[in-house]
Amino acid sequence: MNHSKRIAALAFLVLSQTSLAGDIVFPSPTDPTFCQVLQKYLSNTELTSKNVLFRDMAEYRASKSMVKPLQTFQVVQYSGSVPIMVSCKVKGAAHIRSAHGETAAGEQKFCPEAARQLQRIAIAELRAEGNSEAADTAAGFVVDDIEPYITGQSYLSEFQLSHVDDAGVIHMSSPGLFHDYESWTRWILPERLAGQVYCHLATPAYMKALATGAMAPGVVMSAVDEAPVTPR
1 compared with 150, residue with greater pLDDT: 150
Distances (CA, A) of 183 to 27, 67, 142, 178, 193: 32, 17, 31, 11, 13
141 compared with 24, residue with greater pLDDT: 141
* Rounded Cα gap, residues 159 and 46, in angstroms: 32
The verdict on residue 229 lying in a domain is: no
In which band, very low, low, confident or very high, does the pLDDT at 23 lie, cut at 50, 70 and 90? low
> What is the rounded average pLDDT for all residues in the chain?
91
- Element of type H or E holding 199: strand 196-202
119, 138 Cβ separation under 8 angstroms: yes
pLDDT of residue 15: 43
In which band, very low, low, confident or very high, does the pLDDT at 5 lie, cut at 50, 70 and 90? very low
pLDDT of residue 185: 92
pLDDT of residue 20: 41
pLDDT of residue 228: 97
Minimal CA–CA distance to 21: which of 117, 97, 112, 109? 117
Span 201-224, pLDDT tens digits: 999 999 999 999 999 999 999 999
pLDDT at 178 over 50: yes
The verdict on residue 64 lying in a domain is: yes
Can you tell me whether residue 106 is helix, strand or coil?
Answer: coil
Span 34-91, pLDDT tens digits: 999 999 999 999 999 999 999 999 999 999 999 999 999 999 999 999 999 999 999 9
pLDDT at 113 over 70: yes
| DSSP strand pairing (50-53 vs 70-79) | parallel
pLDDT at 18 over 50: no
The verdict on residue 99 lying in a domain is: yes
For 168-193, what is the mean pLDDT? 94
Span 123-177, pLDDT tens digits: 999 999 999 999 999 999 999 999 999 999 999 999 999 999 999 999 999 999 9
Total domains in the fold of the chain: 1
Strand boundaries in 12-128, DSSP class E: 50-53, 66-67, 70-79, 82-91
Q: Is residue 43 packed enough to be buried (19+ CB in 10 Å), middle (13-18) or exposed (0-12)?
A: buried
Return the amino acid letter for 2. Answer: N
The verdict on residue 149 lying in a domain is: yes
- Element of type H or E holding 59: helix 57-62
Q: Which domain holds residue 152?
A: 3-221
pLDDT of residue 93: 98
The verdict on residue 111 lying in a domain is: yes
